[in-house]
Structure 1
Amino acid sequence: MDMKKATTTPSNRNAQALLEKHRSPVPFHEVRTRFLGNIATPAMSVAPLQVIKNLWGGELPAFDSIDEVNELLDALVQGLWNDLTRHQKRGQPFRLTRMPAEPTAANLGRHGLVRIQELDGFIEGLFNGEDAIDLPERAHEAVRHLAELRAMMAGICELVSRDPVADDRNQLDITFRHLRELTRIMETEIHEAVLSCTRARRQMLDGIFTEKPTVH
């Protein structure tokens, strides 16, 4: 399966094409998880435009016309960003990028790298550029689990780099089965972090709006 076919909604396809057109240094699969982390973060100062600028190091890329600017922003904000907000619901779990299933050493290395980038993107977005952030307990637990899973993916990448032409089909089959299970765990932990942060943010906002004014 071509990795680009992993997400099939028009908003995803359009966003991916425009990111490639404008040479985003951040790959599409990582942009997805970074946006999701930014959507979920308890931080109240998230600005989608700045998040998009950060994909290019803090400033938007050069454009030939204002129409190109609007096209990119529309695809990333009205399209991809808004589409990802649905994962704040229990019945709409997030899915990581689907990877080639053929058990080869090359696919194994690529699989591990993409998962690392996706996890890094989610944490980058969730922390909103901060070194530390106050997270609800379940989200904090999820972040810890995701860090452990990232270390496993890094270990896989290291193994492949040492033996890039490994051809033990039986061992590769076993490893790919483990990868599929680990991917499901990653998706569960990401979704639980999103749900936990969404609840916490909603409760915080409810508290702000229901707080009675002080009588002087």
Structure 2
Amino acid sequence: MKQATKRPSAKTVQALLEKHACPVPFHEVRTRFLGSIATPVVSVSPVQIVEDLWDGELPTFDNIDAVNELLGILLRGLWNDLTRHQKRSQPFRLTRMTVETAEDLGRYGLVRLQELDGFIEGLFNGEDVIDLPERAHEAVERLAEMRAMMAGICELFSQNPHLGARPEIETSVRLLRQMTRVMEAEIHEAVLSCTRARLGMMESVFTEKPTVH
């Protein structure tokens, strides 16, 4: 029997992306893949999603083994691992970070901003408008609101890295962690809603009676 591909560690995927100078950070790759897995757009190609990380064309490789390594870790590894979040019992978690300074707060906001952008980009798959289930549509609207808030936080603290005393920073951290939990919940609901809708469409196709002529 063929063995299942082992789940790659975050360090393994990060090292691979850095090795091939991927312009998209690892935390955004995760959410972009997740959005692409959940999307109701039927024309999604996982290989194309990987190519889009490098603006539509894979990097130059020395040999076929390097190509297989990249696709193996990103698709058979990371992509397949992320499919488990289509179950309610397996909620997705955003990147965890340590925050001690105002500069860290700016970085926190930037990472969350990029994660949300990645998820929405994957979900829409290059389309301006897609037909989302009602719960997924609500989730996307709420995520858009959270994105705007994160953009403001990112701009505030990145331009003023020494802003805020320690108590203010601790208050901001608590707020950001609460916002993170809301983001995770809405991302998970969007994924579940799209998964249910896709399964429903598949069931209707298979159970539909043939037309009698």
The answer to whether the superposition gives a TM-score over 0.5 is: yes
Matching of residue 148 in structure 1 with residue 150 in structure 2: no
Letter in 1 for 2:59: P
Q: Distance in 2 between matches of 1:144 and 1:173?
A: 28
Cα distance, 1:155 vs structure 2: 0.8
Cα distance in 1, alignment partners of residues 8 and 34 from structure 2: 18
Where does structure 1 lack aligned partners over 5 or more consecutive residues? Answer: 1-8
Structure 1, residues 75-128: CA drift from partner, whole Å, max 9, x if none? 0011000000000000000000001132x1110000000000000000000001
SS of 2:40's equivalent in the other structure is coil
Match of 1:135 in 2: 132
Q: Which residue of 2 aligns with 1:157?
A: 154
1:10 counterpart SS class: coil
C-alpha separation in 1, matches of 2:10 and 2:54: 19
CA distance in 1, matches of 2:161, 2:14: 29
What runs of 5+ residues in structure 2 fail to find an aligned partner? 1-6
Task: Read off the aligned partner of 2:90 and give its amino acid letter.
Answer: Q
**2:189 is the alignment partner of 1:192:** yes
1:163-174 superposed matches below 5 A: 163-174=160-171
Match of 1:16 in 2: 14
Find the counterpart in structure 1 of residue 180 from structure 2.
183
Counterpart position of 1:29: 27
- Cα distance in 1 for partners of 2:71, 2:43 equals 19
C-alpha distance in structure 1 between counterparts of 2:36 and 2:89, whole Å:
20
One-letter amino acid matched to 1:41:
T
- Residue 159 of structure 1: CA displacement? 1.3
1:62 corresponds in structure 2 to 60
1:118 aligns with 2:115: yes
Q: Deviations over 1:158-202 (max 9, x none)?
A: 211342212411111101100000000000000000000000000
SS in structure 2 of the partner of residue 69 of structure 1: helix
- 1:88 equivalent in structure 2: 86
Letter in structure 1 aligned against 2:80: N
Q: 1:138 to 1:215 in 2, by over 3 A?
A: same
Inter-partner Cα distance in structure 1 for 2:9 and 2:172: 33
Give the letter aligned to residue 197 of structure 1.
C
Query: For residue 206 of structure 1, what is the aligned residue in structure 2?
Result: 203
Residue identity over aligned pairs, in percent, reads 71
AA partner of residue 200 (structure 1) = A
Q: Which stretch has the larger CA shift, 34-43 or 160-169?
A: 160-169
Report if aligned partners of 2:107, 2:158 keep a CA contact under 8 Å in 1.
no
Count of equivalent residues: 207
Give the drift of 1:209: 1.2
Query: What is the TM-score normalised by the length of structure 2?
Result: 0.95
Q: Which one of the candidate residues 193, 211, 215 is aligned to 2:212? A: 215
**Shift in Å at residue 71 of structure 1?**
0.2
User: What is the CA–CA distance in structure 2 between the aligned matches of 1:146 and 1:49, rounded to whole Å?
Assistant: 27
